[in-house]
Amino acid sequence: MSEAKLAALLGEPVAMDREVRARGDGLRDRSIPPVGHATPIDTIVDAHLLALGGLWAAAGHPNSLFALTADELVQMTRGRVAEVAE
């Protein structure tokens, strides 16, 4: 993820924990399921995902995953598609 691209899209500063990013660990503990929130969240779907055949999304637990397409992810989350990858 490009913090600069995401910040420009959101209109506010964005910072990811650099230590976690450098190690590449700890992300599972910080992942957020794409659906099932009590109140809607602002979801950004990277445009590069649209080129992939299928995706797996977390369902709130490491043993609870579900398969879907990028288009289904956008529809389910009412997400905004944008290029935010580095």
- 12-62 tens-digit pLDDT: 988 776 665 555 555 555 566 777 788 888 889 999 999 998 998 877 777
Whether 34 and 5 have beta carbons less than 8 Å apart is answered as: no
Looking at residue 55, what is its pLDDT?
A: 92
The domains located in the chain, with CATH, are 3-82 (3.90.960.10)
Pairing of strands 80-82, 64-68: unpaired
The single residue listed with the structure tokens 């979801």 is 43
Residue of higher predicted confidence among 68 and 41 = 68
